[in-house]
Amino acid sequence: MNIDFVSLRLFVSVAEESSIAAAAAREHLVPSAVSKRLAQLEDSLGVELLVRHTRGVSLTPAGEMLLLRARDVLRSLDATALELSEFSDGALHIRLAASHSAMVQFLPRDLASFVAVQPRAKIDLVERMSAEVVRAVAHGLADAGVFCWPVIPPGVKAYPYRTDELVIAVPLGNPMAARERVDFADLANQKFIAYLPNLSVSVAMPEVPKHAWSNVRIHAANFEATCRMVEEGLGIAILPLANVDAYVRQGRLACVRLNDAWASRRLHICMREDPEPRRGLADFVEHMVACARVDDA
């Protein structure tokens, strides 16, 4: 099977115009050239794609299926061409994966600082769980990543970036709401709302006592849903301070800090180990690290 993109695009034009002549005019070709391409496409696939009649053409069931797939393929091809064209003008293009906590707390200001000195830089920022961030960088699906994860796979080089804090989100009616700090051991009888516990805090922070996960009442899909569950009095939650702060300022729930050492988490920024990293990537990582270093000073 040999399908070329030119024939695929011509097939889509014919299908949309219901006419070889109209499609030829649309593609600035003679009808005989379009007809020959379509015949070759049908021979290659071994199926009839078009029913030809005096009023034009219509699609066979095989043609209808191919039309759906062909549109997807051509959209992907056009998107790829557009993305690659962004490299032709010399602009720095970085695919950055980051945890939600990092995106909320630190990246907006640090990226603004980077763009200020690299105004032509283009950054594709996607949110991933910390474990997924590291895997994306290791497999070349992201150029750099910001994560909180105890294990760094071979082939990935990580640098200390920033520190965030895990706190306890508490309903306003809970007696703990009046406390400023608490030992996690004091929460043994509390019910928890967990944000994807098997992929988030409980994995990234193995020091968290296991009884916390045995007392989980609800597993929530995201930080916002977790905060809403806490707000309604369904339990307490371990969350990054940045995700709780807006609710606290709005008077919707309380935040209690933890005395436990594991509540302070080190975030890292990583890139693949490469003796010759892609142009500008090392500079980007170095800039992000420097931003954190200045704020920590």
Same domain, 28 and 63: yes
Is the model's pLDDT at 294 over the cut of 90?
no
In terms of Cβ atoms closer than 10 Å to its own Cβ (0-12, 13-18, 19+), residue 183 is exposed
More confident residue, 128 or 211: 128
CATH code at 32? Answer: 1.10.10.10
Q: Are residues 156 and 271 in the same domain?
A: yes
Query: Do 10 and 140 reside in the same domain of the chain?
Result: no
pLDDT digits (tens, 9 = 90+) for 148-177: 877 777 889 999 999 888 899 999 988 889
In terms of domains, do 112 and 140 share one? yes
Contacts of residue 276, defined as CB under 8 A and 6 or more positions apart, other chains included, come to none
Q: Which pLDDT does position 88 carry in this prediction?
A: 59
Amino acid 272 reads R
The residue from 39, 69, 88 where one domain ends is 88
295 pLDDT more than 70: no
- What tens digit of pLDDT does each residue of 27-41 get? 999 999 999 999 999
- Please indicate, yes or no, whether residues 39 and 169 belong to a single structural domain of this protein: no
Place of tokens 């907006």: 108
Q: Using DSSP, how many helices (H) and how many strands (E) does the chain show?
A: 12, 12
Q: What is the share, in percent, of the chain residues with pLDDT greater than 70?
A: 89
The strand pairing partners of 167, in sequence order, are 239, 257
Closest C-alpha among 160, 155, 125, 152 to residue 292 = 160
- Would you report the helix, strand and coil content of the chain in percent, each value rounded to 5? 50, 25, 30
Same domain, 280 and 156: yes
**CB contact set of 132 (below 8 Å; sequence gap of 6+):** 97
How far is 189 from 252, CA to CA, in rounded Å? 23
Note whether 99 and 76 are same-domain residues: no
Q: What is the pLDDT of residue 87?
A: 60
Alpha helical stretches, state H, 56-106: 61-88, 100-105
So what's the pLDDT on residue 210? 56
Kindly report, residue by residue over 95-114, the tens digit of the pLDDT. Answer: 999 988 888 889 999 999 99
Statement to judge: residues 167 and 205 lie in one domain = yes
pLDDT of residue 197: 43
On whether both 63 and 125 belong to a single domain, the answer is no
Residue 77 and residue 36 share a domain: yes
How many domains, in total, are found in the chain? Answer: 3
Do both 171 and 55 map to the same domain? no
Domain, as residue range, for 40: 5-88
